[in-house]
Amino acid sequence: MTHTPATQPRLGRLATAMVTAFNEDGSLDLDGVRRLATELVDEQANDSVVVNGTTGESPTTTEDEKFAVVAATLEAVGDRANVIAGVGSFDTAHTVRMAKRAEQTGAHGLLVVTPYYSRPVQDGIIAHFRAVADATDLPVMVYDIPGRTATAIEADTLIALAEHPNIVAVKDAKGDVVSSSRVIAETGLDYYAGDDAITLPLMSVGGVGVVGTSTHFTGRGMREIIDAVVAGDYPRALAAHRRWLPAFTRVFGAPGCCTVKGGLRAEGRGVGSVRLPMVAAPEAVVTAFLDALHTAEQG
């Protein structure tokens, strides 16, 4: 179904790809997971939380750790926000198993990335996503991020995937607004910016919101942009976009999980360090991000 401004998308409009909290020894910190998820919903205006995605360092967490994170996040916010579980991998059978486990754990939706490393052809991508979508009754958000997977999902492929009733959304980190505009126009897929800075451009052609990284800190600013677009107030949306744009971009001065964890630590909200092969963001990157954030907050 194509959403009018008054219609709330099934998976919400403002979601954060949450970092995974670790203790200082690198072990999983479930109290930190619960605390951060609560902050995102109650203080940063998120109506969805995405766990075990790129920013959640999913390549370096075990399957059991992933579902401990899902369960802890549901415990913290599951009655107030959607909890979307990242279950993607390069192996279709493994992705299907994780999708089923996510449903059993109580997740409200699935984030499924394009299979990486093996670089499947488009027919293989279609078969992969359909197999995952067939495995549960949960809504699926397709994650198109060719910069990490080495394979872009073509517009015709996304249009074909939209025929499956469980495939309802796309996290768009491809950066091709023209292609995305075509898919939005020809399907009922809900499109979410996978890059914070492209939220307003994508919403201007029919996107519904964002799965953000800077939104660990900028959630209320992003909410202002989204609400202004939904209300049809594009001048207000543009003004807010320009105000927050430096923070949206500087969060990626290092890998997003590294900048976010550095920023949280600097603000006294630390959730541990990153796991190798990730390393801590340079202090200059964290400082530049926080300076942009504080400038935006001051208006």
Contact 197, 248 (CB under 8 A): yes
Tokens (6 digits) for 123:
């027919």
234-250 burial, b if ≥16 CB within 10 A, otherwise e? eeebeebbebbbbbbeb
Tokens (6 digits) for 33:
């997971």
Cα distance between residue 140 and residue 168, in whole Å: 6
Among the options 116, 117, 171, 234, which is catalytic?
Answer: 171
Torsion sign across C-alpha atoms 190, 194, 200, 205? negative
Among the options 66, 100, 117, 143, which is catalytic?
Answer: 143
Beta bridge partners of 141: 111, 169
Contact 53, 85 (CB under 8 A): no
Tokens (6 digits) for 296:
């935006």
Instruction: Give the residue from 61, 62, 82 showing the smallest Cα distance to 73.
Output: 82
Amino acid at 226: I
Contact 215, 222 (CB under 8 A): yes
Torsion sign across C-alpha atoms 103, 109, 115, 116? negative
Tokens (6 digits) for 295:
């400038």
Listed in order, strand segments (DSSP E) in the chain are 14-17, 48-51, 82-86, 109-113, 140-144, 167-172, 190-193, 209-212
Establish whether 171 is a catalytic residue: yes
Cα distance between residue 113 and residue 53, in whole Å: 9
Amino acid at 95: T
Establish whether 116 is a catalytic residue: no
Q: Which sequence positions are flagged as catalytic? A: 143, 171
